[in-house]
Amino acid sequence: MVSQQESDIQYMLLALNLAEKGRYSTLPNPCVGCVLTKNGMIIGSGYHKKAGTGHAEVNALADARNKNQDTTGATAYVTLEPCSHFGLTPPCAVALVKAGIKRVVCAMTDPNPLVSGKGFEILRNAGIEVIVGICESQARNINVPFLYAMEHEIPYVTQKMGISLDGKIALANGESKWITSPESRSDVQALRAENQAIMTTADTVKADNPSMNVRYAELPDSAKATVTEELINTPVKIIIDKHEILTRDEKIFSSSGQVMLVYPSPDGDIEEKVISEKLTILRIPTVNDKEHQNDNIDIERLLKYLHTRKIRNILVESGPKFCRYMMDRNLINKLVLYVAPKLMGDDAISFCKCTGFRSMDEIRAFRLAKCTQIGDDIKLEYIIKE
């Protein structure tokens, strides 16, 4: 006979599988899944598909109603604490109370200060039994960027690079297309869709003239099976242009998605100006950078400001200088390397121009989180900061 705890784990794993379906579409909200059971049967299920639309619990309740199932006395398995506040949608905790749910099994507390603990309080005050902590580690893994942003009030930053076996991103003459395989480039489209914003520099835009958008047709089949084109994230493109050199005729300004141009602030204040539906100018104070012998835009302050704009995670696609700049300041959480089986030579350009180490003790070691073969390439995912 299956114990209550074993049953709770089985249903929670189903809810977690549902939550995963929102990985390309829910930002700035977390991925959440919900399964409703009664008398040992699943009577409804749902997941959060996109910000501004119904949350997982509401969708699961609607699914039960569509199946003519009575939710009175049912158990709800939810991967994250039900919300307790009015945002773009009503509170899910209240919806569960009104539906007559008698027991809620939840994987974890929501660290969002608007919710944290308040959803559980609403449920318990209504006489509902609340169990918290079932499959918590799996639930955290689904929403690492969101949880990090909520807990640290700064976006989760991933640096992406396509490199050769000897760690190069371009030949000495600047030629770089294409180091990695078509399969890796397809996977990058999915990686972009997992992020709310893509950050780059004016130098990279000038050198490569990229679009840096999500092209649905180029997504891997596994991603297309999860999300439709109308639901998929369209990341904001954030361009650091400290010398204001871009003309706005570059391809990145006409490709899909909004663009945020980041300029230095002349008076030390943060200023945001909407130029058009697609373009925003953001002025950020500078910091004196003795190592680079000039003033640089204060990236940490920029990141904290972007968090106030509800940007939870950022993918950095840049050259080696900006990669090193971000590494030196411990602003990168995760490093994703697509490694092609090619050798480009000593005179080629390295992906991160880190220099000046005098002993092995000075060198930081990263944690390998995942290794995946993609075509003939290898995708390495390293955790730098948790």
Task: Record the tokens describing residue 100, joined without a space.
Answer: 């007559």
- Other CB atoms within 10 Å distance of the CB of residue 149: 26
Report yes or no: 180 and 340 within 8 Å, Cβ to Cβ: yes
Burial of 361 (0-12, 13-18, 19+ CB in 10 A): exposed
C-alpha distance from residue 69 to each of 38, 42, 112, 152, 295 (Å): 9, 10, 32, 41, 63
Rounded to the nearest 10°, the torsion over CA 370, 373, 377, 382 is: 0
Burial of 249 (0-12, 13-18, 19+ CB in 10 A): exposed
The question of whether 57 is a catalytic residue gets the answer yes
Q: Please report which helix (H) or strand (E) contains residue 206, including its range.
A: helix 202-208
Task: Record the tokens describing residue 297, joined without a space.
Answer: 């835009």
DSSP assigned state of 269:
S
Relative to beta strand 75-78, strand 103-106 is parallel
One of 20, 57, 81, 121 is an active-site residue; which one?
Answer: 57
Relative to beta strand 279-284, strand 259-264 is parallel
Give me the active site residues, please: 57
